[in-house]
Amino acid sequence: MTQTDAKTPRGDQFQGDRKESGNTMKAIVNTQYGSPDVLQLKEVAKPAPKNHEVLVKVHAASAAAGDWHLLRAQPFLMRFMYGLLKPKHTILGAAVAGRIEAVGRNVTQFQPDDEVFGDLSACGFGAFAEYVSVPENALAPKPSRLTFEEAATVPVSAVTALQALRDQGHIQPGQKVLINGASGGVGTFAVQIAKALGAEVTAVCSTRNVDMVRSLGADQVIDYTQEDFTQIGQRADLILAANGYHPISAYQRALSPKGIYVMTGGSMTQMFQAMLLGPWLSRNSSQKMGNLLAKPNQKDLVFMKELLEAVKVVPVIDRRYPLGETAEAIRYLEEGHAQGKVVIKVE
Ligand SMILES: NC(=O)c1ccc[n+]([C@@H]2O[C@H](COP(=O)([O-])OP(=O)(O)OC[C@H]3O[C@@H](n4cnc5c(N)ncnc54)[C@H](OP(=O)(O)O)[C@@H]3O)[C@@H](O)[C@H]2O)c1
């Protein structure tokens, strides 16, 4: 067991082109904002865990829409949080799965060799690298029946879907739940979580994804290239908007009188309408409308672990890329047509 209290903060480990062995690792580094072209595979200092941290040997990470938003600093407001002129965090990657290599002296929950998964977005990112040091609370034991690649798909997308449906959407068994953007990273988990929580699920996706989304358990699938779900007179008790765009008034029309609309993603206009108009519409009607910003937490990782181990939820992996091709993975994700999750293979 290694016990150390290193001074090097994660994200400040960039060491140019220096090549060393032993205390270095490969990482995907971004020292400036921009397109995926700014991402470079570099040799950087291997982090050491502080007292409350564990050092994780990363086996897999997954890419999420948040990665390209951060990379490009879009929307611009992100710069106030993540660095005005250049990125504060120079190694991205939030969703991680790996094996613990060393623990800091105050760590109580894990020991070397434990298999873990977690979301690093609240503690500095860093999953696009061979190693990352993170507070133990950012992690949970990896679901035993999942591979590292499968486990890495869960922490950001599934927990977002869970918090949207359960915490903000107050999902109840038997309710009619509609998921718009059902074929992407968040949507494929949302369909399965809603089914696992007893809802009757309508999934909205394009023609090529209809069969895939039905195989995840959706009771009804609406092909958005053929039909507009806001125009067909059906009303849902809960709508999760994970992708696409409809005016908030159209979502309101597709909601039952006491329905709840939760926006987690999609176009910027959809986001600003949910943030700015949602609270006002909620005050002036019996419907509740708004956006959700997911908050990583250990409890929800454990909740998902149980659903995954019970095979009530199964990760959908579209593509896998080696660490050195992370830029390609993010370019693909940015096109907006991923079917499930995009995984970065590290180990
Ligand atoms: N609020 C939070 O805390 C939080 C957390 C995670 C993610 N997000 C956000 O959530 C959004 C979705 O994330 P994600 O990981 O699911 O993205 P994603 O995996 O990139 O979504 C891609 C999927 O969206 C579908 N899609 C594209 N246009 C659509 C449309 N008009 N209607 C319905 N489906 C459409 C695509 O299928 P087709 O091309 O075949 O339609 C594809 O399967 C992003 O905006 C992301 O930034 C927010």
Check if 168 has its Cβ closer than 6 Å to any atom of ligand 1. Answer: no
Task: Read off the pTM.
Answer: 0.94
- DSSP-derived 3-state class of residue 294: coil
Nearest residue (by CA) to ligand 1, atom 47, is 65
**pLDDT reading at 13 higher than 70:** no
**pLDDT(161) > 90:** yes
Q: What is the DSSP string of 149-216?
A: HHHHTHHHHHHHHHIIIIIIS---TT-EEEEETTTSHHHHHHHHHHHHTT-EEEEEE-GGGHHHHHHT
Å from CA of 186 to ligand 1 middle: 7
Give the model's confidence band at 1: pLDDT under 50 very low, under 70 low, under 90 confident, else very high.
very low
92 pLDDT exceeds 70?
Answer: yes
Query: What integer best gives the mean pLDDT of the chain?
Result: 93
For a pocket test of ligand 1, which of 153, 191, 243 has the largest count of ligand atoms closer than 8 A to its C-beta?
243
Instruction: Give which of 154, 161, 146 is closest to 193, Cα–Cα.
Output: 161
* pLDDT the model gives residue 6: 35
Model pLDDT, residue 347: 81
> Percent of the chain having pLDDT more than 90?
92
Cα distance between residue 166 and residue 177, in whole Å: 12
Angular region, 78: left φ>0, alpha ψ -120 to 50, beta rest: alpha
pLDDT of residue 17 exceeding 50, the answer is no
> What average pLDDT does the segment 171-200 reach?
98
Q: Give the C-alpha separation, 196 to 183, whole Å.
A: 17
Q: Find out whether the beta carbon of 244 lies less than 6 Å from any atom of ligand 1.
A: yes
What residues contact 16, with CB distance under 8 A and at least 6 apart?
42
The angle subtended at Cα 296 by Cα 132 and Cα 162, nearest 5°, is: 130
pLDDT at 11: 42
With a 6 A CB cut-off, is 293 part of the ligand 1 pocket?
Answer: yes
Percentage of the residues of the chain whose pLDDT score is greater than 70: 94
- Ligand 1 pocket, 258 CB below 6 A? no
pLDDT digits (tens, 9 = 90+) for 217-260: 999 999 999 999 999 999 999 999 999 999 999 999 999 999 99
Residue 102 Cβ contacting ligand 1 at under 6 Å: no
Question: How big is the CA angle at 149 (ends 143 and 155), to the nearest 5 degrees?
Answer: 60
CB atoms within 10 A of CB 156: 29
Name the residue at shortest CA distance from atom 10 of ligand 1.
Answer: 265
**Gap from CA of 224 to ligand 1 centroid (Å):** 14
pLDDT at 14: 38
The predicted pLDDT at position 276 comes to 95
Provide the pLDDT confidence category of residue 9 given band limits of 50, 70 and 90: very low
- Cα(290)–Cα(321) distance, integer angstroms: 35
Q: Which of 75, 69, 117 is nearest to 92 (CA)?
A: 69
The minimum-distance atom of ligand 1 relative to the CA of 181 is 34
* Range with lowest mean pLDDT among 2-6, 157-161, 305-309: 2-6
**Is the CB of residue 294 below 6 angstroms from any atom belonging to ligand 1?**
yes
Grouping H, G, I as helix, E, B as strand and the rest as coil, residue 117 is: strand
188 pocket-lining for ligand 1 (C-beta < 6 Å): no
pLDDT band at 10 (very low <50, low <70, confident <90, very high): very low
Q: Determine the Cα–Cα distance for residues 170 and 95; give it in Å rounded to an integer.
A: 25
Residue with CA nearest ligand 1 atom 14: 185
Query: Which of 5-9, 160-164, 236-240 comes out lowest in average pLDDT?
Result: 5-9
Q: Is the pLDDT of residue 342 over 60?
A: yes
How high is the pLDDT of residue 22? 72
Q: Is the pLDDT of residue 307 over 70?
A: yes
| Angstrom distances, CA of residue 189 to CA of 41, 126, 183, 248 | 31, 24, 9, 23
Question: Residue 75's pLDDT band (boundaries 50, 70, 90)?
Answer: confident
Contact indicator for 171, 194 with CB cutoff of 8 Å: yes
